[in-house]
């Protein structure tokens, strides 16, 4: 029973960020909050809030240490974007002798050059994807209706399907794989 209470205590106390991802543009401001959820501790905590890397590359944010007293559960932090790229802000508990989980206390910040440019890139990308996806279907449908492949260019079809397959794998990798995203962002901040 005592073993169960230890894990119940660990489960009840956690340090969390109010936002997991923030997307802003250069010269814009935003905020996030760090809070203790389900706080049943009757002690004070020192929490260090800083960029994951040595110095923030894209936002104006200096390392801060805040003190959660028994009656305070939330602190608000302001950020201001200065360069395009990305940063991660992490909150860690300075006192290692507490039973508070801080694994969910981080914020990913992406700074873009302009919202119109980001929207345009996304729209053009999806239009390109849809047009390329549909480009080889008219010939396939007409050959199926004619029940003939006379005039059908197999090289074109094979290259088009191969290109479409690898383009889809590339897009899926960029969208779903955090490792590929971090490599891409390291090359093109």
Residues 6 and 98 in one domain: yes
Clarify whether residues 97 and 65 are in a common domain: yes
Question: Mean of the pLDDT values across residues 76-104?
Answer: 85
If asked whether residues 54 and 65 sit together in one domain, one would say yes
Classified as helix, coil or strand, 14 is strand
- Give the structural domain span for 73: 2-112
| 15/104 same-domain check | yes
Give the per-residue pLDDT at 153.
74
pLDDT of residue 31: 93
Q: Are residues 127 and 46 in the same domain?
A: no
How far the first Cα of the chain sits from its last, in Å, is 51
* Overall domain count for the chain: 2
- pLDDT of 117 > 50? The answer is yes
pTM (global) more than 0.75: no
Mark whether 129 and 77 lie in a shared domain. Answer: no
Residue 123 is predicted with a pLDDT of 92
Q: Which residues, including other chains, have CB under 8 Å from residue 68's CB and lie 6 or more apart?
A: 36, 44, 45, 46, 47, 75
127 and 96, same domain (yes or no): no
Beta bridge partners of 32: 77
Last residue of a domain, one of 46, 81, 112: 112
């Amino acid at each position: 029973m005592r073993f169960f209470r230890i894990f119940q205590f660990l489960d009840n106390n956690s340090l969390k960020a109010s936002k997991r991802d923030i997307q802003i543009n250069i010269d814009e401001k935003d905020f996030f909050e760090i809070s203790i959820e389900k706080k049943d501790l009757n002690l004070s905590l020192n929490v260090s809030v800083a960029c994951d890397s040595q110095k923030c590359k894209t936002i104006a944010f200096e390392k801060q240490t805040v003190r959660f007293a028994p009656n305070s559960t939330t602190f608000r932090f302001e950020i201001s974007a200065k360069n395009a790229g990305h940063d991660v802000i992490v909150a860690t508990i300075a006192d290692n002798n507490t039973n508070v989980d801080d694994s969910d206390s981080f914020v990913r910040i992406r700074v873009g050059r302009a919202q119109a440019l980001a929207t345009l890139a996304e729209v053009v990308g999806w239009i390109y994807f849809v047009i390329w996806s549909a480009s080889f279907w008219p010939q396939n449908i007409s050959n199926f209706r004619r029940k003939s492949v006379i005039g059908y260019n197999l090289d074109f079809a094979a290259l088009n399907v191969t290109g479409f397959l690898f383009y889809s794998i590339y897009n899926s990798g960029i969208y779903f794989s955090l490792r590929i995203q971090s490599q891409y962002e390291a090359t093109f901040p």
